[in-house]
Structures are given as structure tokens and as C-alpha cells.
Structure 1
């Protein structure tokens, strides 16, 4: 029974350590995070190939064989 009790106590200590780590995480409000995300999207919109067509086809063969 003593081994079970010490095992239980060690589990509780680990849980307390984990909760303390979670408590120290800096939180961001959703309104601030969404505003930052929108700003990031607007700033990087021109480099996003899903929005803007790339200047050159990246899958196009670089050179052709002169023998063909």
C-alpha cells in the first residue's frame, strides 16, 4: 500500500508541475490575435501563390533536348 501511495503522490506532483507551467504561459486575447493575423495576411498577400499567380510556372522544364 505504501508503494501505491508514493506512486499516487508522485503523479500528483507531476500534475502540479504541469499546471504551474500552463499557468505561466502568456495568453493573447482572441481579438488581438485575429487582428494580428489579418495584418499578416494583408502584408503577405502578394507573395501567396494561392492568391496571386506565380510569375513563372515552377514545374515547366528548364531546358529542352536539342535532339528531339
Structure 2
């Protein structure tokens, strides 16, 4: 396994898996990336990812 701490990336030389620290944590613990992110940010000062704005219908009915 190759770890690049400067870019926060990993790559497995055997299976070709790659990604960032959240992906690695998720794979090692058998959880989704979302669950891994939530676990890693629990109790820290890491700001959560911004939520996607919900699309609003701007068309008016006639």
C-alpha cells in the first residue's frame, strides 16, 4: 500500500483500490463513506461539508 500524506491519498498495489483518508477508513471498518466521515468528524472541530441546495420550482402556474 502506498500512502501520500501530502495529498491525503492511498493506493493498494495488490487490488488497485485508491482514495482519500475517509475512503480508507470506510474500507477498513466496513462502513459507507458517509458513516466514515461522520465518525471521523465526531468530537472534532472539523466543519461539516456544505449541504446541496434543494432545487426550488421557480415557474409560476398560470
How high is the TM-score relative to the length of structure 2? Answer: 0.22
Higher relative contact order (CA 8 A, sep 6+): 2
* Structure with greater helix percent: 1
TM-score of the pair, normalised by structure 1: 0.21
Structure with the largest fraction of strand: 2
